[in-house]
Structure 1
Amino acid sequence: MKQGSYTPGSPAPVRPPQIGGFMSGDLTLHSAYDELITMRAWETLLEGKTEPARSSLPVRSTIHDSWHRCANGGIDAQRNEAPLETDKDAVAALARSNWELLAAATRPFAAIGQLLDGTGAMLALADSEGVLINVIGDKKTIYDGMDIHLGVGGKWTEDVVGTNGIGTALWTGEPVIVHAAEHFCAGIKTWTCAGAPIRDPFDGKVIGVVDLSGHPDIFRPHNIALVAAAAREIERALADSQNEERMRLLEAFIASARNYRSSDGVMIIDRHGRAIYSNNVPIAARKRFGDTIRQGTRSCRLPELTNSGFLDSVTTALPQDMQSCDVCPLELDGDVRGAALVFPKTSSGRVASSGISSTSQRLKDECALIVGESEALRSAIDIACRVGETEDVTSLLIEGETGVGKELFARLIHVASQKSASSPFIALNCGAITKELFGSELFGHVSGAFTGASREGKPGVFELASGGVLSLDEIGEMPLDIQPFLLRVLEERVVHRLGDSRSRPVDVRLVASTNRELKAEVAAGRFRRDLFYRISTVSIHVPPLRERGSDSLLLVEHFNRKLASRKGGVPLHFSNEALDTLLAYHWPGNVRELRNLVERLHVLSHNGVVGIHDLPADMIDPPENRVAIPASPNAVAEAEIPIFSFDDAERHAIRNALAAERGNLSKVAQRLGVSRPTLYRKLEQFGIKRSFV
């Protein structure tokens, strides 16, 4: 049996000394905690001897209520571990999306973490979805924690792993201790934890949890005070950071608003769509805008902030009576971190005509974000624009390897559609959702539909995207049992929220994207054939970078200038040999790999010049550096073949050199007096086939 597992009816774990007077999330009890009584109460609930909705159990009210939520929600009480995200890209994306929370926690976590070594305790930071984003403390405890997935990427909400310090603190919004047998799932009953919620200083919304966990012998009543104090310190750091950013956004607006008049209405928003300053804008209008954009960001993963992408998200959220405003991006350190919404007033006091750019201009701006001139890329852009401009195609599939920029094509299709100026764009990454939450994210839920459901209910992404575009990224990751429901929505154009019999009509254009070969997934039985044909009415293949010729050099220049602008410096200078190497490289990570390389070079470059030896070793001397071409007994005869052009001369010179050097490209390049990247290009140009050793 796995460590920590327990089966109803078996002997209860060894009872620790009774612990009295510890504080729960809602009150302080002076009665003793009794392990045996708690275990028997848990067994009674699971065996159905009492009605879960009404039964009274001899446990604290916080645990009592949580157990009932878990029982009514169908949580597996024999579960031994939390769900764990293991994909490195998804974990990295999680860290990027929570960078502000991680930065605010750096100082308190460093101070507390160094004191926990050898204590048997670990400190964890979870985001608003209950997913762990940082773990420090006693090394052995951290190692033991991975048995139950108490590590970075583990998801600890009540609706997936039952009563626990993180999930229950998220649900109640209060500090909570969950000790040993008080956990709902058997595999976690050998742990004790204390969690305290972290609230956004701006609006009081719970955005994370600080949790102290370990085996039961680390329990102390004051553990809850420790995590509560850490949470407050993180909130203070967040408040300082937010105040500084607001001041900088105001300064950025003052510096850029040359035509702004004091009679105009103005609202400045941060990157979360929150109004941090307003003048001459009615409170009701500010509230409508804030409610609209927050409703959108709760249920979708917004794309990385870019000038057009962020502005499009903002203008989409504008209520009808605010459509006349001018929207100006506000940049900090080269990134769009907010926007100014200016409502010009005419001499009569009326709002002037709209300053939002036309669809054609926005389409032109969106195309400009896709850098490249290759025929394959331009062909894909052309298809995306033509599909976007017609209403006949209601679903399409974007295929391409990881890192090629499929999300940019989804945005392009949205902008190209005739209703894009006033219709929403909602993006959801299917690979970032647990199986248990798929239905809720896609279709929404009503109040009380399941454990962890919002008290007010919540619309799904189909409702939020109605009238616009829904982008489902990594659709190949969608669980097989959810796919029939998606197919039904696409066919019937209606959704049913979880727990609700009412049908809700939706008008959505679905843009699905994948890095998998879906036909192979269909053949293997991992993806429904009928759904595949439904979403692939039109398919757009985004070519990998290695098939785009000199586009890699255009992208190097693009990212080079963008990073230089962000840092307030000058672009790097790349030597010809370095450019040759970049052009010849295979780019398995595509555009994302290229962008990361340029960022690395900006950090590591000392004199602003990038030579070939500044590049990674696998670029300078890749595996294909050696070519197995046996020496030709007719090499001399080949050299004597009449030559009619310079191309013929180069072709035969390369063949003879390859034969003479037995396929060693380094020696071939040296013999011919060219760089290795130039030699690679010539081999491809002349179609000289290579077999690798």
Structure 2
Amino acid sequence: MAKSAIPTNGLGHLRAAQYEYDERETMRAWEKFLINNRVLPEGACPVRTEILQSWSRSSSSGIDAQANEAPMPYRSEAISRLKHANRDLREAARGAFSQIGKLLEGSDAMLILTDGNGVIIETIGDERTLDDGREIHLEIGGVWGEDAIGTNGIGTALRTGCPIFVHASEHFCAGIKCWTCAGAPIRDPFDQSVIGVVDLSGPTEIFRRHNTALVAAAASEIQRVLGERQQQERARLLEAFIESGPARGERDGVVLLDRYGRVVYNRNMPKATQNAGAFAMGQRLVDPSRVRSEAEIAAALPCFLEPRGVSFLRLDGEVRGTALIISGDGPSTRRAERAAPARKLPVEIVGDCPKLAAAIDLARRAAEAGASVLVQGETGVGKELFARLVHAEARKAAPFVALNCGAISRDLIGAELFGHVAGAFTGAVREGKPGKFELADKGVLCLDEIGEMPQDMQPYLLRVLEQRAVWRIGDSRRRPVDVQLVALTNRDLLAEVEQGRFRRDLYYRLGTVTIHVPPLRERGDDILTLAEHFSLEFSERQNRPLLHFPDEVRELMRAYGWPGNVRELRNLIERLYLLVRGRDVSLEDLPPEMRAAGQGGAAAKARPEDGARSLEDLEEEAIRNTIRAEKGNLSRVAATLGISRPTLYRKMRLYDIRRVYE
């Protein structure tokens, strides 16, 4: 057989010199290897080193070199259990397999997915090749580890942890030498362990130089999808702990384990135990397959651990993690049970409607856990108050630093967030400057209008959040930071993700806990409570008697839709203290749009019916009303709405709003 030029194994080796494959010489080397049971001297063998090493391992494992099929221990119900056990990996591979599978029709090739033991869990491709594969158990349930069937693309990729192709007579077993295959390992994005393989197999005629690159790209895509899903699940586990986990003391440590028994979250551990290193991220504390109850988990933990509480965490009705509460190193300072009377809020958030109370409770729990928080809500609902609440609950002795992402040019936002060294860019402060992350160390960093974060800056923000360290612009020095991040947005950030304007991984990293602040129109009697609260504020400020709101005014205030939310209500009360001469507020003292709502002419516009109006509709109306009220002064409009002028200009273009109202 003529020699053919084929690359050495691994995607990284594609840039190396081509390897000359000779079928006859390779077969002869294999036969000599079986006789001598040893690797021939380097330079005397035409076979690649990695293949020779694999042959040696195969021989040492007692593999039958004349075998013509892989073991097939899985049948019927066992295959169903196999698929269920690997459902996460199979679902993560669905997109890549669907896309590549369409290209393989009529190609004589098949694409294979295996678990970490080399057991096939999915196949797709040319029907004729799939049929041929069944004859050698290259099908779901077949075991293709190197210790089961010798040198092959699946087993050798698993064994070496590198992409590799195995062509024709390079296979160890005689019965599969008519096949060519290229395999690439799939690594767990969290701890980088090898959890599976993507393999492209077929008759020797399908060999192409790019086969290894193809499976390596597919493995990379599967890892990306797995990473996103794992990040989502870790965030949901933390939410589940915050919402229903066991109570803990302020000095107690918290450890969350995922379904594999690995540490995915830890807090306060240096204070809780001298063995804090045992709780490093990714460390496996228990083997979930060997425990069935919370008591068994407690018993299986390392001997130096005496958890005060162990609680399963359920997602969608299924146990997906475990929370451990590790007793602190001093006298117990356990918090009161949740049924205890509510404490006075350290931040003035007025109102007691159920939706607001739920948001406050979630913010408090997020503060306890030290989790990143995403606060969503319409313009004017008071999102920053929740950032202040998180700070006051857990880190009030440390800094509270705020930054409006929409108020800074894209050229400067990196320097503002991460800082810079001297001379890092034109206009940089001569002695360098710390960024907001460093200034907020041990405290809370509030990023308002996070949806305005430039896309090219989002990966750097994600890196800081994941590594808990910052690198100043122009500097390679790593500066550790301990910052609880609270991000605010009035956008539908998930829609921004779906439209490609915001990174999905950053979205889930920011939203470990997501708080939805209800709009004022959904808060019922809170409208009147807030009106009286603001009335008291301006009464004291201006040394005037409290305003009186007659029943017809109160009814109209409840009926109005408040597109500007709490900020609009506060501005109204301030305006009334300037305009009303006595104490009684009349309908004529109210803005025209409110009176129109009372008459029914604009009620449908001001207040949504059955949730029919979108957030964008309400935002547009709030901007139009504020421009009209401020007589076209856009500086005052931006200040009233609590947004930057660039953001206001962008929204005006979006909604086709004229600059000045006549």
Report the TM-score range of the alignment, normalised by the length of the smaller protein.
0.3 to 0.5
TM-score, normalising length from structure 1?
Answer: 0.45
